[in-house]
Amino acid sequence: MNLKQQASGGAEVEERMAALVTNSNAIRSISSAVEGTLGPKGLDTMLVDKYGDIIITNDGVTILTQMEANHPAARMLISIARAQQEEVGDGTTTATIMAGTMVSAGVEQVARGVPVTKIIEGMRLGLEKGLELMREKARPVEDLDDPLIYQVALVAGRGHRDIASLVVDAAKLIGKEKLLENNFRFSDTIRADERAENAVFMGVIVNKGRMNRQMPTEIEKAKVLIMDDALEPEEADEIARSTELGVKQNEIYKNQFRENIYKIVEMHVGLVLAYRGISEIAEEIFTDAGIIAVERIAGSELRKAAEHTGAWMIKRTGLNKNIDSLTRCLGSAGSIYNDEKTEQVWIYNGAGNPRATVVVGAATREVVGERERIARDAAAAVQSAVRGGVVPGGGALEISLAKEIAKIGSNFRGMTAYGIECIVNALKRPLAQIVSNAGFNSLEKVGDVISLQAETGNDALAVDCDTGQICDMYQSGIVDPVLVKTYAFKAAEEVAEAILRIDTIIKKKEDRPDYIETGRF
């Protein structure tokens, strides 16, 4: 090889390393933004936008998705975190810091001359073994009265006992079978309001109040009519309205509309919900008849109300049907309550699909969002625990996996062992960060836990963040859903592998119209 070829080869290596280092730095920057929030002693992060509005949170996915990140590698990591949140609702911070550690360790190995393909091969072996061990170590949750369910909610709920109790009560109200349904998201039952008190009930909330104070506040055993439309008279088109014929047509429409409103009264409807506005004519008739009417309701809330009450959503032309046909479109509820304080209508015990609602109260507007995020995390964790069981938290599980996977690495004589080592380092990272956030020496405490787990054979040992003593996480009530752990581990390895495989960064050309590229004019 001549000097020119050597120089060319050296430049290529430098270019590959530059790409790896650049990506690694971006990942490290993202990881450092959330690592201080991990564990019971983790602190909050303040997010500030250009208008000065702030969000104060220690929720990893909120920080990641709301922070400004322009680097492509950083965006990849944020996408993984978002996917984790959507899939299992928790564990994004753990996934992020583990991915950051894998990438950093991988780049160090590449700098030492280890081929990327060998590192990835070892990482995949470590991932496969780790996922297998996680499932083996999982402790199943037999029923919703299992004390572990409350502990899962408490840990995911960041120690908020009122939220943990609300979530567990809601889970019991819904039942285990519902929580096991693939298309059911328990976290969707959560809503927070600064004006409300904590509550759990079977039903839904419409985030609007009655049209006027003369309407009833409460109705028992109510029939429900849901309009996916405006409840207003039809009108002739703009041109026709200026003619005598158009004026007569509008009068006919008004009379027909009035007759349809009286049909609603005749059917003894107690609640009318409308997607758009309700006319003054209808409002007056409903008020006289003792009907609660609510207008301009969000489509998502309208659909939830329809599903829960068993009502069919109809257009205003549907009111032209005869009473027998119209009656079949009605839903029903055990009771309807208009809450004056929150300006909401609460629908209890609908005849349609059972649906629970968890209302989380907040003292001020500033903490409403954070209280809701905490409750949603707790709900998602409970559902994951019911579906897959639990494992010891506090970094204990990851340390036990690191020990087992390290044994596998010692059996490999080739460079694949370096990839396994990256996985081992990443698995040690959660405990190290948790104890560091608690104010202890992470190197010392991680070493102590590894030694004591090996000595006693107890894989549930980790550090009490209050005392610094090593204790059993199961006995301390520190447990996590295994599905959260497996998803976080897998997501971290996948993003780390994707980053390590990139050896060149090329700026993509801007898209241009076809007529410019082909020369067609």
End residue of a domain, out of 361, 385, 411: 361
Same domain, 333 and 400: no
- H or E element in which residue 236 lies: none
pLDDT tens readout for residues 472-500: 999 999 999 999 999 989 988 988 898 88
Q: Is the pLDDT of residue 519 over 50?
A: no
Domain that holds residue 307: 195-361
Same domain, 29 and 94: yes
- H or E element in which residue 320 lies: none
| Number of domains within the chain | 2
DSSP string, 370-430: HHHHHHHHHHHHHHHHHHH-EEETTTHHHHHHHHHHHHHHHT--STHHHHHHHHHHHHHHH
Q: Which range has the worst mean pLDDT, 65-74, 221-230, 256-265, 393-402?
A: 65-74
Residue 164 pLDDT: 94
Same domain, 350 and 399: no
Question: Beta strands 292-294 and 269-274: pairing type?
Answer: parallel
Same domain, 35 and 88: yes
Q: Is the pLDDT of residue 6 over 50?
A: no
> Do 267 and 223 touch, CB atoms closer than 8 A?
yes
- The span from the CA of 205 to the CA of 305, in Å, is 8
325 exposure class (CB count in 10 Å sphere: 0-12, 13-18, 19+) = exposed
Q: Is the pLDDT of residue 2 over 80?
A: no
Q: Which range has the worst mean pLDDT, 91-95, 98-102, 281-285?
A: 91-95
Q: Which range has the worst mean pLDDT, 48-52, 88-92, 325-329?
A: 88-92
Residue 519 within any structural domain of the chain: no
The vertex-383 CA angle with 460 and 197, nearest 5°, equals 110
- The span from the CA of 277 to the CA of 42, in Å, is 47
Taking the C-alpha atoms of 148, 154, 155 and 156 in order, what is their torsion angle to the nearest 10 degrees?
110
The vertex-240 CA angle with 238 and 242, nearest 5°, equals 80
Same domain, 355 and 412: no
Same domain, 252 and 339: yes
Residue 9 pLDDT: 45
Residue 374 within any structural domain of the chain: no
Backbone angles phi, psi at 347, to 5 degrees: -110, 115
> Do 45 and 36 touch, CB atoms closer than 8 A?
yes
What CATH code is carried by the domain that includes residue 255?
3.50.7.10
pLDDT tens readout for residues 463-473: 999 999 999 99
Confidence at 288, pLDDT banded by 50, 70, 90: very high
Q: Is the pLDDT of residue 59 over 90?
A: no
Residue 15 pLDDT: 60
pLDDT tens readout for residues 442-459: 999 999 999 999 999 999
> Do 482 and 131 touch, CB atoms closer than 8 A?
no
Residue 111 pLDDT: 87
Residue 29 pLDDT: 81
What mean pLDDT, rounded, does the chain reach? 86
Same domain, 120 and 236: no
Residue 445 within any structural domain of the chain: yes
Q: What is the mean pLDDT of residues 242-271?
A: 84
Same domain, 284 and 205: yes
Q: Is the pLDDT of residue 127 over 50?
A: yes
Residue 118 within any structural domain of the chain: yes
pLDDT tens readout for residues 158-182: 889 999 999 999 999 889 998 998 8
Confidence at 150, pLDDT banded by 50, 70, 90: very high
Q: Which range has the worst mean pLDDT, 84-93, 97-106, 269-278, 437-446?
A: 84-93
Same domain, 356 and 463: no
Confidence at 365, pLDDT banded by 50, 70, 90: confident
Measuring CA to CA, how many Å separate 249 from each of 192, 241, 258?
47, 8, 14
Same domain, 199 and 312: yes
Q: What is the mean pLDDT of residues 66-79?
A: 78
Residue 478 within any structural domain of the chain: yes
Same domain, 353 and 477: no
- The span from the CA of 347 to the CA of 332, in Å, is 9
Residue 354 within any structural domain of the chain: yes
Q: Is the pLDDT of residue 8 over 50?
A: no
What CATH code is carried by the domain that includes residue 467?
1.10.560.10
Confidence at 250, pLDDT banded by 50, 70, 90: confident
Q: Which range has the worst mean pLDDT, 50-64, 175-189, 347-361?
A: 50-64
Same domain, 317 and 446: no
Residue 518 within any structural domain of the chain: no
End residue of a domain, out of 361, 379, 411: 361
Q: 268-288 as b/e, with b when 16 or more CB fall inside 10 Å?
A: ebbbbbbbeebbeebbebbbe
Q: Is the pLDDT of residue 52 over 80?
A: no
Residue 427 within any structural domain of the chain: yes
Q: What is the mean pLDDT of residues 258-276?
A: 95
